[in-house]
């Protein structure tokens, strides 16, 4: 019986394991796309398929890396939000008893975050400020003990030592700092239209906020 000729260019079966990606930072790209989609449409209203399309990957590949949307959201919290918490905690340590440095560090760190991740203010406004926001419990239970409550204790201690205005509420001082940073950035699409203020960038916002906190609105 004549032997069969070997089939050329036979396709080898794919080895099991992690699929190869065309780019090394595929996971980062998916996380960035997810954050952008969540900031624009909301976490609850964004299907995984939309994130895959924005990241230019297949839904199967997205499932391979993250499994489900709750797992993806948890990865975003761990890899995007919690590192920022670490930066803010570092400000508490570096500033020691210098209240001006503590406040400036808070402002500078938040605006640096916003410059790196422009989607963050919109995500905060949508998923923290709104009732039913998917990140509200994360802020209250996981971030608040590390950042707002720690800052409030520092401010209260400074008041007791006579270093801060006693008429201030130390709790509302933390809220005011968030309003002067995150809310200012989150509302930018509105006030930029009202004042035709496309010339105002992150550095202008940072300098304005620090000047307001340092010198108020007087001439001195």
* pLDDT for the residue numbered 96: 66
- Domains in the chain, please, with CATH? 21-67 (1.10.10.60), 81-215 (1.10.357.10)
CB 19 within 8 A of CB 27: no
**Encoding tokens for residue 25?**
């930072």
Reference 66, options 34, 25, 24, 20; nearest CA is: 34
Quote the pTM value. Answer: 0.78
Q: Indicate left, alpha or beta for 21 from its phi (over 0: left) and psi (-120 to 50: alpha).
A: beta
Summarised one tens digit per residue, pLDDT across range 156-214 is 999 999 999 999 999 999 999 999 999 999 999 999 999 999 999 999 999 999 999 98
Summarised one tens digit per residue, pLDDT across range 59-99 is 998 988 888 999 999 999 998 888 877 877 776 677 667 88
CB 188 within 8 A of CB 121: yes
Judged by DSSP in three states, 188 sits in helix
């Amino acid at each position: 019986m004549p032997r069969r000729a070997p089939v050329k260019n036979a396709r080898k079966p794919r080895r099991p394991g992690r699929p190869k990606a065309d780019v090394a930072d595929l996971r980062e790209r998916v996380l960035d796309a997810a954050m952008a989609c969540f900031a624009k449409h909301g976490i609850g209203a964004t299907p995984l398929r939309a994130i895959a399309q924005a990241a230019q990957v297949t839904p199967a590949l997205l499932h391979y890396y993250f499994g489900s949307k709750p797992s993806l959201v948890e990865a975003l919290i761990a890899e995007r939000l919690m590192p920022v918490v670490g930066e803010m905690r570092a400000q508490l340590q570096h500033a020691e008893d210098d209240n001006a440095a503590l406040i400036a560090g808070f402002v500078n760190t938040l605006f640096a975050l916003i410059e790196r991740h422009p989607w963050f203010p919109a995500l905060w406004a949508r998923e923290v400020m709104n009732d039913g926001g998917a990140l509200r419990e994360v802020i209250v239970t996981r971030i608040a003990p590390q950042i707002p409550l720690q800052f409030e204790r520092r401010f209260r201690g400074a008041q007791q030592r006579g270093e801060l205005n006693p008429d201030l509420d130390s709790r509302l001082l933390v809220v005011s700092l968030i309003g002067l940073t995150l809310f200012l950035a989150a509302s930018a699409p509105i006030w930029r239209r009202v004042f035709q203020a496309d010339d105002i960038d992150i550095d202008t916002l940072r300098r304005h906020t620090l000047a307001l906190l340092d010198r108020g609105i007087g001439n001195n």
